[in-house]
Chains A and B, each alone.
Chain A
Amino acid sequence: MADAHAQDKYYVPHGSKWPFVGTVAFLFMMGGVSAWLNGSDLGQWFMLVGVAIMVYMLFGWFGTVIDESENGIYNNQVDRSFRTGMSWFIFSEVMFFAAFFGALFYARSFVLPWLDGQGNNFFTNLLLWTGFESEWPSNGPAGVGGDYEVMGPLGLPLINTIILLTSSVTVTIAHHAIAEGKRAIVLAFLGLTVLLGFIFVFLQAEEYIHAYTEMNLTLETGIYGSTFFMLTGFHGMHVTLGAIILLVVWIRVLRGHFTPTSHFAFEAGAWYWHFVDVVWLGLYIFVYWL
């Protein structure tokens, strides 16, 4: 790749159609999903069109950025902008998960005890939920969703934990390798990381199928089912996204896009990967374990 220092000026693109294309994509996606949820079959097609446009946009937008970077139009300052931007984006993702963790903690440490008559809720239990006793997991005083089995920390979840932890080691190895310009090692370990990522997603899917078919543990299973599937579900989506990002990075390594000094895309992907990893640890401890 061309030397990042070739440019002394901060690069400001003049006009780009990609963001606007992305906006159009949002219009179709959000409008479509809404129509769909309101029971119009047309909705899903609109949504699919939206997704297609979004994919087109991502290729176009990132394609442009990659070209620009390849042509050495970016100087270090631009690179810093990307880094700062990426870190704060990840922070916003953290806060999104925080909302759901917050819901989990609030339900466990306040709502359920209150329904069982603690705090200033003596009558709540006496008159409305007679005899309900707070415990965790719980699908609530009305046993919403019927009897269910609890998803324990052993078995698949444990395996998945190991997989994800390993993957974050492999990505770190790849990171060191790229800094030393050892392309073969990068390809090997980054590839491994991507592979582990997809295996994780696959096993997660297995776990869901098991939960739905054998354990009667579903989204409808009261607050336990709600928090379990929303947290692990959103995490799963992020793993998928992260794996795709790393896959793209892998291809770019193959094409020799990166130098030991300049490989922001790689690092961004790696950061994102560590982020989903950390979120998983939180999940494993608070959703599966405690």
Chain B
Amino acid sequence: MTSATHTADHHDEHHDHGPAKGLSRWLFTTNHKDIGTLYLLFSLTMFFVGGAMALVIRAELGMPGLQFVHPDFYNQMVTMHALIMIFGAVMPAFVGLANWMVPLMVGACDMALPRMNNWSFWILPVAFGLLLSTFFLGGAPAGGWTMYPPLVLQTGDAFPLLIFSVHLMGISSIMGAINIIVTIMNMRAPGMTLLKMPLFVWTWLITAYLLIAVMPVLAGAVTMLLTDQFFGTSFFRAAGGGDPVMFQHIFWFFGHPEVYIMILPAFGIVSEIIPTFSRKPLFGYDSMVYATASIAFLSFIVWAHHMFTVGMPLTGQLFFMFSTMLIAVPTGVKVFNWTATMWKGAMTFETPMLFALAFLFLFTIGGFSGLMLAIVPADFQYHDSYFVVAHFHYVLVPGAIFAIIAGAYYWLPKWTGHMYNETLGKWHFWLTTIFVNLTFFPMHFVGLAGMQRRVPDYPVVFADFNFIATVGAFGFGLSQLLFIVVVVQCIRGGKKATAEVWDNPHGLEWTVPSPAPYHTFDEPPEVGDLAEIGPLKGT
């Protein structure tokens, strides 16, 4: 087994010097660990900004009647909250984790295209800078994150900035995805065959393909909005032979794969954590890989389940209902395999495991509500109600966000070289889990009872549940401040972490010291039989 202590190397000495000093280290860096850190910090910031907006939303919805904000500002909050959370918090968090972990997991010295890696990141602050600047240009976009025309065409000066910031996010994601694909395809250490790759690497590989396939389509869709607005094209105008619904088709052709882009890497993280703390290899590795691939494939042929109420031909509605329901099958395979991994294991419950377990339960609940939404006649009742809001927050918050937090706790010691404060971690977990359910579970009820989405005010019968949700949201928000504390503490110091950190975990990342040196795997390691690494040792 190679360790990361790297051999001095005369004919490219640059490998031997550490990080540059000062700001230029971060502006010009080509180091996957630096860039990963940048991504993660950016994502955390955006999570708080988007969360602050969510708190404005919840505050206004705390009781019936308008207390704090004007309806149009409310819509700005909803729109920006979603755009920031999806493109600013969740996606960069996953790319950050990929930057940090994929090279370590496949035994590569760095990402394959280091300069482009830097570019992918630094485009993001510009994109969100432009997007947020619209608050000072007479109001942010308020047409919902789905940007449906004709409403979105009523956006004021914010409109072009919305379009171009989406373009920039697209460019960033595409370059990031290309980089990840190339790294996985071309930088694996000898012996690291495809079917030996950790599942996090697999899920990211497939996610990257999804990204490259759909981000350009989103770019095309918003470009059509731009030309409809400024250059008199008629893509989405019936008078000229276009159709507003056509935008929805193009948008959701991007949009549905997008939601799996936000969950597949989460599946990957959970598939790393559960085996470690069950002290048992992942059950059904191969079928996990195939399940991920089939989910990705299916995600291209289900998009219109977001549009059942637009008046599609009957055949269309039936097709998209069936294809959507099918996705439950591979996802189920994953859930069952995770369960089987815990089965007859020897589990311990450190914070990463706790978050992974909460993911297992709560994501599945979100999946169930998703399945209910797929049933067209019922969706006529659910659609654009809070039942949908409940569904996607269950898959996104205790789904994607929990997985990201779990991953952060799992790899923090590897990044910082210190153990985080386990007690605070547990507090963070329990508070977060209690409040997240308090926030989003009542939304199922008000949704079924007939409360529609995207409204700042509602009939009084919905008052009680909305109040509970608001309390939950503030509790949830405050609990996240604990996370900041834990992370900062862990960076500052704490119990030294060993190379393995956990009880005999699986994967190359645990063969390098903690904190991982600035340059790892300068000489690619020999990955013989995987049994040499991790819990399979000796079996």
Direct contact of A and B (CB under 8 A): yes
Interface: B259 (CB within 8 A)? no
Interface residue? B220 (CB, 8 A): yes
With contact pairs A37-B230, A96-B219, A120-B313 given, residues A115 and B186 touching in the complex (Cβ less than 8 Å): no
Q: Interface centre among A11, A16, A34, by most B CB within 10 Å?
A: A34
- What per-residue 1/0 map shows which CB atoms of A132-161 lie under 8 Å from chain B? 000000111110110000000000000000
Interface residue stretch chosen among A172-180, A215-223, A249-257, A272-280: A215-223
Given contacts A89-B178, A111-B241, A144-B240, contact A19 B227 (CB under 8 A): no
Count CB-based A-B contacts (< 8 Å): 234
- A219 partner residues in chain B, CB cutoff 8 A: 227, 231-233
- B-contacting 9-mer, from A102-110, A163-171, A194-202: A102-110
User: Is there an interface contact between B28 and A96, defined as CB atoms closer than 8 Å?
Assistant: no
Q: Determine if A96 and B122 form an interchain contact, defined as CB atoms under 8 angstroms apart.
A: no
Contacts of A226 in B (CB 8 A): 224, 227, 233-235, 240, 242
| A residues near B165, Cβ cutoff 8 Å | 30
Main secondary structure on B side of the interface with A: helix
Shortest beta-carbon distance from A54 to chain B in Å: 12
Q: Which residue of B lies closest to A112 (CB)?
A: B241
- The answer to whether B215 touches A92, judged by C-beta atoms less than 8 angstroms apart, is yes
Q: B167 within 8 Å of A by Cβ?
A: yes
Q: Are A111 and B250 in contact, CB atoms less than 8 angstroms apart? A: no
Given A23-B119, A99-B221: A223 and B234 interface contact (C-beta under 8 Å):
yes
Interface centre among A13, A23, A89, A107 (most CB of B within 10 A): A23
B interface residues, how many (CB within 8 angstroms): 79
Interface centre among A12, A17, A91, A225 (most CB of B within 10 A): A12
- Complex contacts, B182 vs chain A, CB 8 Å: 81, 84-85, 88
**How near does chain A come to B113, taking the closest CB pair, in angstroms?**
6
Return chain B residues, CB-CB under 8 Å to A20: 27-28, 118-119, 122
A38 contacts chain B at the CB level, 8 A cutoff: yes
Interface status of B92 (Cβ within 8 A of chain A): no
A10 to chain B, nearest CB (A): 6
| 19 A-B residue pairs with CB within 8 Å | A7-B12, A10-B187, A12-B30, A12-B109, A13-B114, A27-B130, A30-B126, A38-B160, A81-B187, A99-B217, A99-B224, A100-B220, A103-B250, A115-B241, A120-B313, A219-B231, A220-B233, A222-B240, A230-B223
The residues of A with any CB-CB pair to B shorter than 8 Å are: 7, 9-20, 22-23, 26-27, 30-31, 33-34, 37-38, 61, 73, 77, 80-81, 84-85, 88-89, 91-93, 95-100, 102-103, 106-107, 110-112, 114-115, 119-120, 128-129, 138-142, 144-145, 218-220, 222-227, 229-230
